[in-house]
Amino acid sequence: MAVAAAAGVWLGVALWRGAPDTSGASGAASGVRVVDATGRVAVRVPDGWGRQLRDSGWDPATLGLPAGHEPGLAVADDLTHWQDLGAGVDGVFVGLSEHGDVTARVAAVAHPGCHDDGGRAWADGRWHGRIRSWSGCPGGGLLTEAALTPAGAGGQPQVYVQVRREGGDDPTDGILRSLRVTQTR
């Protein structure tokens, strides 16, 4: 299965300029905090990545999960080219899923034209899961995808995260540590 980005159901593009983060969180330090339209998903991204925001959610069916409209956001320096892995884009997509197995779907993802660099386990106090990385994508881009579940009991909601970057240091761990998800409002 090829997934250019779980873009599903995004409607409007809004320019977003947030206040810089001075908290010193590693990875996404001095970044901007973005929140989806429902207020359930918040994440911090590097400064230059926070130029455009789509905060209207997504359809998990784009990842092979049960269809529906779930909270999610994409933030990048150029969202017009987000789904084109041949375009140089720095940004993050975060989508919640209340149903299905995000980890199994991310494990099955293929990105033709990109070199699969393998995966690794990831955990912090709130989340645990698996991260997969690709390099050498058309246009030279780097791609990382994560499937996360809450560290506590229950395992829901699951989170799918996609990080795209043209190069430089990998901010993925800092982005994942900054991720906040609230319960249904």
Judge whether residue 10 has pLDDT over 50: no
Order of all β-strands in the sheet with 91-97: 14-15, 52-54, 72-76, 91-97, 158-165, 142-150, 127-135, 115-123
Residues 6+ apart with CB under 8 A from 28: 21, 43, 44, 45, 46, 171, 174, 175, 177, 178
DSSP per-residue codes, 12-39: --EE---PBP-S--SSSTTEEEEE-TTS
45-81 per-position pLDDT tens digit:
999 898 999 999 999 999 999 999 999 999 999 999 9
pLDDT, average across residues 128-139:
93
> What dotted CATH number matches 14-181?
3.40.1000
Judge whether residue 4 has pLDDT over 90: no
- The domain limits of the chain are 14-181
Q: Taking the CB of residue 128, how many other CB atoms lie within 10 A of it?
A: 14
pTM beyond cutoff 0.75: yes
